[in-house]
Amino acid sequence: MTGATLLFLIIGLGLVAWFFGRLKAAGMQSGGKHSRSALHSLPNYHGWYVALWAILPAAIFLAVWSFASPALITDAALTSPAAAQLPQDAFARAAILSEARAIASGNQVNAFNPLSQSMVEPYRDAIAYYQMIGAVAALLMVFACGVYAWLQIKPDLRARTKIERVTMLVLLLASLIAIVTTVGIFLSLVFETARFFSMVSPIDFLFGTEWNPKAVAGPRGETGFGAIPLFWGTVFIGAIIAMIVAIPLGLMSAIYLTQYAPAKFRSWMKPILEVLAGVPTVVYGYFAALTVAPALRDFAVSIGISNASSESALAAGAVMGIMIIPFVSSMADDSIAAVPSAMRDGSLAMGATQSETIKKVLIPAALPGVVGGVLLAVSRAIGETMIVVMAAGLAANMTANPFSSVTTVTTQIVQLLTGDQEFDSPKTLAAFALGLVLFIVTLLLNLIALRVVKKYREAYE
């Protein structure tokens, strides 16, 4: 019996339990709805009470069992006569056992090692044996707990209160998943990064200027993991070129839409601009690689820059800037709208023109909000992957020439992880180290941005 069928069976039995629990409670109620023996909770809650008793203990048992049983299965398989031939070396032994386990559970068809083949039968027997034990125990639990709960049903059983307590727990668990995910991200990145730093010195990684993981040879003393060129490329594309495009366009769009545009124009134009943020990044990447990059290279060659690359930083950065426009514009929109109208009215009443009011009153007052928005946009831009993977190059250059090719952190993460390396090589681990740097930087940018925006909001409240 596979895990899925067992689970469905248990859930089915739970429904049966619900039915009987509800039936019993309803029978008690029909005796006298308005008499003293009226139920504390509605029959439905009694039904759920029995169902939860039937399902939950068995489900918890199965979860524990699925973690514990592999060790038991291996022990059982090792007591078989075939296990006597296994090599003493722990590493070779583990390899054979895992292969045999894979074949026995149907994940693999043929063994590379004849010894594994001999272990398949004992394994299969052990798996079947322990699966049977697990299934029987789980079903017994369903019956035992279900009957226990069913016997407990009495008019004054506080079934609703108990159900609500369980539901509240489920709600809390659902919210805790966010923390678990955050911790999971952090731990998995830190763990792999620590392994990387045991092979490559953190100083070399953070401050080295040569990035060339392909050339890395020996298991010790690796060089070519200097990430400075990647950091520069990321900043150059995401924080400089993209922002040069996005800040003026986004800010001016927001100003025009909030201060000048008629309501009807605004209600049409705002969603249209927001479409720019909804286009998938892979589409932007393709657009940048297919249309923008060749056009920019031809332009560069025509103005006399002979070494212009077809994977220029400018193409990736400019397209990324276009993608970021709605972020900048909506943040600017919010912070301009939050400036008290008395300030604006005062300035206009003094005879300032609208543009003077905007430039000298609104923008300075809204500046913290705008800066916060720009920081969020930067954090978004440096974490953006597909545009740079498709349009920026792989050459780790340290150059400020927008027509030449630079590479970014995200490009290299994709590059390092999409090959066929084994998981322990410094190349794959380097991707996690880059990921950790990216995670920390975006986290800091977000925290600073949120703090700036919050402080500024408070100033006008």
Partner 1 sequence: MNSLTETKRRPTDWQGAEMQKRIAGRYAAERRFKAMGMAAIALSASFLAFLLVVMVGNGFLGFTQTELPVEIDFPAVTGGASPSQFQGPNAEANLQVMGLREIVDSSIEIQYGPEGTDLFSSGAWTAVSAKILADPDIVEQKSTVNLPVVSDLDVAYKDEGNPEAEAKVSELSGQFSTGFNWNFLSNSDATDPMQVGIWGAFKGSLITMIVTLMLAFPVGVLAALYLEEYAPKNRLTDLIEVSINNLAAVPSIIFGLLGLAVFLNFFGMPRSGALVGGLTLALMTMPVIVISGRNAVKSVPPSIREAALGIGASPLQVVFHHVLPLALPGILTGTIIGMARALGETAPLLMIGMRAFIATPPSGITDPATVLPVQIFLWSDEVDRGFVEKTSAAIIVLLLFLLIMNALAIYLRNRFETRW
State residue 261 phi and psi, 5-degree precision: -70, 140
Q: State the nearest-atom distance from the C-beta of 149 to partner 1, in Å.
A: 20
Amino acid occupying residue 180? V
Q: How far is the CB of 350 from partner 1 (least distance, A)?
A: 13
Helix axes 363-383, 242-255, angle to 10 degrees: 140
CB 202 to partner 1: min, Å: 19
Rounded CA-CA distance 204/225 in Å is 7
Closest to partner 1 by CB, 191 or 207: 191
Nearer to partner 1, 147 or 269 (CB): 269
Hey, CA dihedral for 71, 74, 80, 84, is it positive or negative? negative
Nearest distance in Å: CB 371, partner 1: 16
Which of residues 63 and 177 has its CB atom nearest to partner 1 in the complex?
A: 177
In the bound state with partner 1, the residue whose beta carbon lies nearer, of 80 and 421, is 421
Distance of CA 358 to the CA centre of its chain: 40
Say how many C-beta atoms besides its own lie within 10 A of residue 65's C-beta. 18
Instruction: Compare residues 115 and 389 and give the one whose CB is closer to partner 1.
Output: 389
Which tokens hold the place of 10? Answer: 């248990």
Give the nearer residue to partner 1 in terms of CB position, either 229 or 238: 238
Structure tokens that stand for 272 in this block: 């249209």
CA 176 to chain centre: 15
Closest CB 183 distance from partner 1, rounded Å: 8
- The distance of closest approach from Cβ of residue 306 to partner 1 in the complex, given in angstroms and rounded to an integer, is 26
Q: In the bound complex, what is the minimum distance in angstroms from residue 321's beta carbon to partner 1?
A: 10
Residue number with CB closer to partner 1 (275 or 349): 275
* Shortest distance in whole angstroms from residue 287 CB to partner 1: 5
Q: Which is nearer to partner 1, 72 or 448 (CB)?
A: 448
**361: its two tokens:** 């009153």
CA distance 439 to 413: 13
Is the CB of residue 375 less than 8 Å from the CB of residue 328? no
Please give the DSSP secondary-structure letter assigned to residue 116: H
Closest CB to partner 1 among 146 and 384?
Answer: 384
Calpha distance 197→117 (Å, rounded): 39
* Token pair in block for residue 332: 């600017």
Question: Could you give the residue ranges of the DSSP H alpha helices within 200-340?
Answer: 202-207, 228-234, 242-255, 263-278, 281-287, 293-302, 313-337
CB of 17 to partner 1, least distance (A): 21
Output the CA–CA distances (angstroms, integers) from residue 90 to 26, 86, 124, 277, 422, in the order listed: 62, 10, 22, 54, 21
